[in-house]
């Protein structure tokens, strides 16, 4: 699969998304029944990723913040107040049949990173944040996300990425 051929579009009523499945029922339910309402209420924007017309993944982005006091001392910035501005990956999924081998998840994360960098030129945005499902933590760590400390027992722990610490693909 040539990732240069991936195209993206913002979710609209015209998109046929009913056959998409990432294999996680709650995420599939979100894209099938909630994403459009979520977007219409301005709670997040869902981007769809297509390869040769096939929906291969999606991500929903929204605004968030990262509480400085929750971070380890080494990750805190020397300036800033109680919260750092962030872009949140609210949902991210790759088609079940294409997971783990084609780099689509990394491509979508690169897209999110590029969006956060663009956003940071217009408003404050220093971090990407997400609540990770347990099965995705290793993937996000490999990408460069860190777990906030002291989250033992949390079902979907908070992870973050300092957007200034990672290079991204410029063409996204």
At residue 138, the pLDDT reads 94
User: Which pLDDT tens digits describe the chain residue by residue (172 residues)?
Assistant: 888 889 999 999 999 999 999 999 999 999 999 999 999 999 999 999 999 999 999 999 999 999 998 898 999 898 878 999 999 999 999 999 999 888 999 999 999 999 999 999 999 999 999 999 999 999 999 999 999 998 878 889 999 999 998 765 554 4
Question: What are the start-end ranges of the H helices in 85-134?
Answer: 104-120
Contact 89, 130 (CB under 8 A): yes
Q: How far apart are CA 129 and CA 69, in angstroms?
A: 15
Task: Determine the pLDDT at residue 153.
Answer: 80
Tokens of 69: 């006091």
Residues facing residue 67 across a β-bridge: 83
Which domains, and CATH codes, for the chain? 3-165 (3.40.630.30)
How much is the pLDDT for 172? 47
- Alpha-carbon Rg for the chain, nearest whole angstrom, is 16
Sign of the four-CA dihedral 156, 130, 61, 57: negative
The confidence score (pLDDT) of residue 169 equals 52
Residues 6+ apart with CB under 8 A from 157: 131, 132, 137, 147, 148, 151
pTM: 0.91
């Amino acid at each position: 699969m040539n990732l240069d051929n991936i195209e993206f579009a913002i979710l609209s009523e015209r998109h046929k998304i009913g056959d998409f499945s990432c294999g996680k029922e709650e995420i599939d339910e979100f894209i099938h029944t909630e994403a459009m309402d979520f977007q219409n209420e301005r709670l997040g924007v869902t981007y769809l990723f297509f390869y040769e017309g096939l929906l291969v993944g999606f991500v929903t982005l929204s605004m968030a913040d990262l509480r400085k006091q929750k971070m380890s001392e080494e990750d805190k910035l020397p300036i800033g107040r109680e919260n750092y501005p962030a872009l949140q990956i609210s949902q991210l999924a790759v088609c079940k049949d294409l997971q783990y081998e084609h780099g689509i998840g990394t491509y979508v994360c690169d897209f999110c990173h590029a969006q956060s960098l663009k956003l940071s030129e217009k408003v404050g945005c220093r971090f990407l944040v997400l609540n990770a499902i347990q099965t995705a933590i290793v993937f996000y760590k490999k990408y460069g996300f860190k777990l906030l400390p002291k989250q033992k027992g949390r079902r979907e722990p908070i992870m973050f990425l300092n957007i200034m610490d990672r290079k991204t693909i410029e063409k996204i």
